[in-house]
Copies of this chain bind each other. A is one copy, B any other.
Amino acid sequence: MYSLTVRDHMMIAHSFRGEVFGPAQRLHGATYVVDVTFFRRDLDADNLVVDIGLASQELKDVLAAFNYRNLDDEPDFSGINTSTEMLAAVVADRLADRIAAGGLGPGATGLERLSVTLRESHVAWATYERTL
């Protein structure tokens, strides 16, 4: 199995609801360093998992909908705890939609899985992995 990973980041504000979150119930924020890994069994005709340039651009486009925003004000996340693990899944699903729509080119039909890791600090990160 082959995989290729590209990295970018986003900076957001949000707050959490529930006593388990303690002081994180207050409005605060995070930098998420985002690693997206694309998996496929065989390489394409160019010997690639996916074109790094295209993959990086699609990731940047997906992150633009989060970047420099207060997620508490985004209709998509109204009343939802935007935990690191939940955001990893949203980023993964949005990338999966773009791949299905051809955003990574016709060769990307060979992709089998996708994982998204959001690093919220030097001591904590979360991953969501799904099939394509």
Q: Are B28 and A12 interface neighbours, CB within 8 A?
A: yes
Residues of B within 8 A of A29 (CB): 11-14, 28-31, 70
A80 within 8 A of B: yes
Q: How many residues of A contact B (CB 8 A)?
A: 63
Identical copies of this chain, number? 6
8 Å CB contact of A7 from B13, B89, B124, B128: B124
A49 within 8 A of B: yes
Choose among A4, A22, A128 the residue with the greatest number of B CB atoms under 10 Å from its CB.
A4
Residues of B within 8 A of A7 (CB): 122-124
Residues of B within 8 A of A84 (CB): 4
Q: Are A28 and B69 interface neighbours, CB within 8 A?
A: yes
Chain B residue nearest to A72 in the complex (CB): B27
8 Å CB contact of A5 from B3, B31, B126: B126
Which 3 A-B residue pairs are closest in the complex by CB-CB distance? Answer: A29-B29, A13-B13, A13-B29
